[in-house]
Amino acid sequence: MNATLNYPRLVIKRFVWEKLDSEVSIEFNSGLNILHGKTQADRTIFLRLVKYALGGNHERIDTKILEASVKVVLEIEANGENITLTRSCQHTSGKMEVEDKDGKNSLSLKEMSPYLLEKLGLPQVFTKTATQEGGKRDNPLSFNDLARAFVVDRDISYSGILPGVFERTLIETIKVMFGLTTQEIADTENAIRGKEGELLELRQTIVSIQNFLKKLDVPTLVEIEGKRNAILEGLSRLAREEQELRQNVRSKIEGEVTTYEPTKNELLEKRKELDDKQRELLNLRDQRREKQDIKNILSEEVKRLERHASSHYVISTFSFTICPRCSQDVTPEMRQREADGLCTLCGRSLIEHDDGEAWEKSLRDVKQSIKETDILIIDHEKRIGVLEKEIKPLASQIEELEKKLQSETKEYVSPIVEHLGLIISARVSAERELSRLDYEKQQRELAFHYQEYDLPKVQRELEEVKRELDELSKKLGKTTDYYSSFLAHFRRFLNQVSLDQPVEIVDWDEKSFLPLINRQPYKIMIGYDLVITVIAFHYALLAMGIREPKVKSGHPKLLIVDEPQQQKMGRERYLQVLNLFGQLANENNEPPQIIIATDTQDIPSNLKGFGKKLI
């Protein structure tokens, strides 16, 4: 046997469930593993947590269970590579910790699916899903979509084959499990869907443009070109007329209207003169304001200097009860210093520190500056008065010139300008029509290009991709070989379990991609016969890749079956089912891994050695 024939291969080696107050840890073996102990609910939760550790959703796990748990750790072997997956139970949407041969990494739940598919060598397949807007979009077939084919949940999986799964997703899942879809085939099929989408979009665009042209009664390209040439010729004629009229306007101004040009020039000069005077007036008013501010500052300085100069004498006469410099009461100490011939403020000799002359000079200088500032203010006010008198008649002159110029323009130039306006209006209309024709021409050329070049190009590419798919399918072998392998194992399972409804013929329906029983849909089976048929389906998917007649399937060689005995199929049938799984798991050199959850008392004696007790 070729060792790689059993790939893809997923083996669960160890699972750890860390709770807030305890820890559950179970090691699994290749081959058969019978999980027993505690209650049915406990075993179901345990298996759902295993799937949760593989990136599955938490919807079927009770919230109280997750709140009482810390994390789950799953050690797996994917195509021979050891991988450890850790997922928090407190933050169900958070990232998972992954450790493999490349080291440790954190992956989001969205990233987990392509990661596991890549590690197992399973293809990334896209399916078309309807949108709310009525369109369709490509959705990737996730690892957990595929897991529905090898994880049998006690509450949802026994009512039918992959119940609740959309038809297209079901078909693609089974094709991957069969091995009919490899990564090359998936890529090619995705490329075909892409090309078909391009083709459909191009056809819709062509039809849309053609309907638009038809609705507007758009002429042909030849007719459009003829109309364009006629419009361009008309535009040239209008341009010549416009040029002649403009020349006439200039002639009128220079000839018949002899006063127009001098009046215009005089008006421009007067406006310039007015602007100059207004700017000068504004500037003088600013300077007058600045000089007044300076005068106010100098006046305050005069008061300060006068107060300082007089302070030498005022206090010494004892005619005041407060200090003229700080406006505070004169103290006895100050009077004593005065009596001693000293400065009442600092205690130094008045004779030795006489600086009165310097203060008097500063006072004279500041007063002189105030006088000079007053002179400048008076000069500014005189000039402001002159300008205000000059501006008023100048404004009146400008108003008279504007009226005169307007009258001459209306009498001589306006009729010509009116004619010019009509020419310009006609030119605008012609240019608008030319723009419309250019747009119609563009649409015609675009439709022609799509129909004559793009559409055939995409059709050729589509045919080429389809040929590639045919070649890959030929390399894969006959699809009937895969159907035959599945049906052989499906039939064997049903024939070795005691059923109430006889199974005479099993066949494969390529349309629904599901088995037929007695030439009818498998759901003719009812009650526990339907349950056994569902289990037989999952058994056959697994067996077709490891037991003759076998094919190179895409099944990961892992099957988890939750509480088959709970389906009340009866003790005899249950033992027959369990023994069939035991034989499949133990009769191969590289056995698949089968994990079955059941009550301890329901384990047959010959299989007790495969028990894994949940404590």
Same domain, 20 and 155: yes
Give yes or no for residue 415 having a pLDDT over 50.
yes
Same domain, 291 and 399: yes
Q: Does residue 227 form part of some domain?
A: no
Same domain, 466 and 484: no
Dihedral (CA of 408, 410, 415, 417) sign: positive
Same domain, 404 and 454: yes
Q: What is the pLDDT of residue 354?
A: 54
Domain ends where: 474, 509, 537? 474
Same domain, 482 and 371: no
Q: Does residue 187 form part of some domain?
A: no
Domain ends where: 445, 474, 503? 474
**Does residue 262 have a cis bond before it (omega within 30 degrees)?**
no
Q: Which of 159-168, 223-232, 350-359 has the highest mean pLDDT?
A: 159-168
Question: Longest C-alpha distance within the chain, in Å?
Answer: 144
Helix (H, G, I), strand (E, B) or coil at 392: helix
Q: Supply the CATH number for residue 553's domain.
A: 3.40.50.300
Using pLDDT thresholds of 50, 70 and 90, give the confidence band for residue 264.
Answer: confident
Domain ends where: 474, 505, 537? 474
Cβ atoms of 577 and 532 closer than 8 Å: yes
Q: Which amino acid is at 387?
A: L
Same domain, 24 and 138: yes
- The number of folded domains in the chain is 2
Same domain, 462 and 533: no
Q: Does residue 418 form part of some domain?
A: yes
Q: Which residues contact 511 (CB under 8 A, 6 or more apart)?
A: none
Q: Which two tokens stand for residue 302?
A: 């005069």
How far is 356 from 306, CA to CA, in rounded Å?
11
What SS3 string covers 27-56? Answer: ECCCEEEEEECCCHHHHHHHHHHHHHHCCC
For 137-166, the pLDDT digits (tens) are 778 889 999 999 999 998 888 999 999 999
Q: Does residue 168 form part of some domain?
A: yes
Same domain, 523 and 579: yes
Same domain, 105 and 141: yes
Q: Which two tokens stand for residue 274?
A: 């007015």
Residues of the domain holding 101:
3-181+478-613
> How much is the average pLDDT of 457-476?
72
Using pLDDT thresholds of 50, 70 and 90, give the confidence band for residue 462.
Answer: confident
How far is 330 from 311, CA to CA, in rounded Å?
13
> How much is the average pLDDT of 61-80?
95
Give yes or no for residue 311 having a pLDDT over 60.
no
Higher-scoring residue by pLDDT: 533, 305 = 533
Q: Does residue 198 form part of some domain?
A: no
How far is 391 from 228, CA to CA, in rounded Å?
59
> How much is the average pLDDT of 454-479?
73
Q: Does residue 502 form part of some domain?
A: yes
Q: Which two tokens stand for residue 283?
A: 């500037």
Q: Does residue 205 form part of some domain?
A: no
For 525-575, the pLDDT digits (tens) are 999 999 999 999 999 999 999 999 999 899 999 999 998 877 788 889 999
Same domain, 67 and 128: yes
Cβ atoms of 91 and 106 closer than 8 Å: no
Beta strand 611-613 pairing with 31-36: parallel
Same domain, 298 and 392: yes
How far is 427 from 429, CA to CA, in rounded Å?
5
> How much is the average pLDDT of 582-608?
89
Using pLDDT thresholds of 50, 70 and 90, give the confidence band for residue 217.
Answer: low
Q: Does residue 242 form part of some domain?
A: no
Same domain, 462 and 485: no
Helix (H, G, I), strand (E, B) or coil at 256: coil
